Amino acid sequence: MLDLTKVNQNLQNQSPLTIIEWALKTQQDIPVKSIISTHFGPYEAVLLHLVTQVDPHIQVVWVDNGYATNATYRVANKITEQLNLNLHIFVPQRTTAYLNVRYGGLPELDTPEHTEFTQIVKIEPFNRALATLKPTLWFTALRREQSALRQELNIVTKAGDNLFKIAPLLDWTSQDMQNYIEKFNLPNEMDYVDPTKGPQGRECGLHKITF
């Protein structure tokens, strides 16, 4: 059993690559099945590049909610090809056309309709990904500067009975991300829309729950 307090103390101030190597290589006494989640939005190539350096075959989970911009789909293809990602795509069980009719467009924030919409396009597909792939480690590109909730996170957190969430980039800034993108000539795209989030800095719901 991991002592999360001790683990997070030891990983504090370590580089993202060191954190990833610790998670993937030093936990040999624990059966490890790993995933990395992505939405192919701004700077998403950074963590994908870092993790695939250590495990080129890691399972990459993309919940394609059906509302991505054309630019997002283009950059998703570029990143997938450049990094040779082992990509697993999960989609909602309702089409975008159906949802647009049901809600008359995107539902208003902080309403029961918005909660239901988020469940349909994001939470349920991701839960299905977890049930299908059965990971024990989940790498995510969460960063403290993105929202108030994320400022309080640790690098390693328990996300379920047999699931630990790893955030190697937690203390990186947008400038750190941009520098990495430029250093390794990675595809990047700022034209990204999350239909569940609304204003920048608002949580989408996925990282507020325990699975």
> Could you give the domains of the chain?
4-9+33-208 (3.40.50.620)
pLDDT at 146: 79
Alpha-carbon distance of 106 to 103, in angstroms, equals 6
Contact (Cβ atoms closer than 8 angstroms) between residue 83 and residue 45: yes
pTM for the whole thing? Answer: 0.90
Successive 10-residue mean pLDDT values, the chain, 211 residues: 87 95 73 90 97 96 96 98 98 96 94 96 96 96 81 86 93 96 97 82 52 45
